[in-house]
Structure 1
Amino acid sequence: MASSSRDGASHDAEIRLWREDDWWIATDVETGVTTQGASRATALANLDEAVALHNDEIGREPTEAERRELGIGPSETDDDDLPDVLK
């Protein structure tokens, strides 16, 4: 297995990347999240997304502070305008 560390010790933001058969495997050492891809670029892109999901950076509702920062008020939609299934 390849490693980005020179002395064998873990470092912040360390990623390990190696090839197994026709796949590239990428692991984020800190979180233990591992992904694969047919190319190095795909494996690393998949790892970026998987780590973001692991850290709750994507796939969650924004906080009120994040909404305000984006200029979105607490209720931009009137519930009467929503279809019944969304109310």
Structure 2
Amino acid sequence: MSSREIRLIEEDDGQWSAVDVETSVVSQGETRQQALEVLDEAVALYTDDDGTAIGDEVAYLEDHGIDPAEVTDPRDLPDVMQ
């Protein structure tokens, strides 16, 4: 099992930011817990099935039969991206 470094930052407006150091993926939430939950989702979308970072997001989408130009909302991506 590999280790994962996450940084939590309390912003001036009371919001929380969570940063996955390895991938540089950032999320925000009203609470620390919410920021971490959103970060988990964001990292899952950013990484491939084996947990490694997707280096070329466009190529990854195309490899999975998805036209990047048609993606307007990441929540509409098929399960393969989640």
TM-score by length of 1: 0.52
* Match of residue 37 from structure 1: 29
Shift of 1:60: 1.3
Hey, which of these two has a bigger chunk of helix by percent? 2
User: How many pairs does the alignment contain?
Assistant: 51
Structure 1 gap segments, 5+ residues each = 1-11, 62-87
Larger radius of gyration: 1
Partner amino acid, structure 2, of 1:43: A
Higher relative contact order (CA 8 A, sep 6+): 2
Q: What is the distance in 1 between the residues matched to 2:45 and 2:11?
A: 25
Residues 25 and 34 in structure 1, CA contact (< 8 A), matched pair in contact too: yes
Counterpart Cα distance in 2 of 1:59 and 1:19: 32
Give unmatched runs, 5+ long, in structure 2: 50-77
Identity of aligned residues (%): 52
Paired with 1:25 and 1:19, the residues of 2 have a C-alpha distance of 6
The runs of 4+ residues in structure 1 deviating greater than 3 Å are 56-59
Report what 2:80 is aligned to. Answer: 60
Query: What secondary structure sits across from 1:30 in the alignment?
Result: coil
Q: 2:6 aligns to what?
A: 15
**CA–CA distance in structure 2, aligned partners of residues 25 and 47 of structure 1:** 9
- Correspondence for 1:82: none
Pick closer, same or farther for the CA change 1:39–1:29 going to 2, 3 Å: same
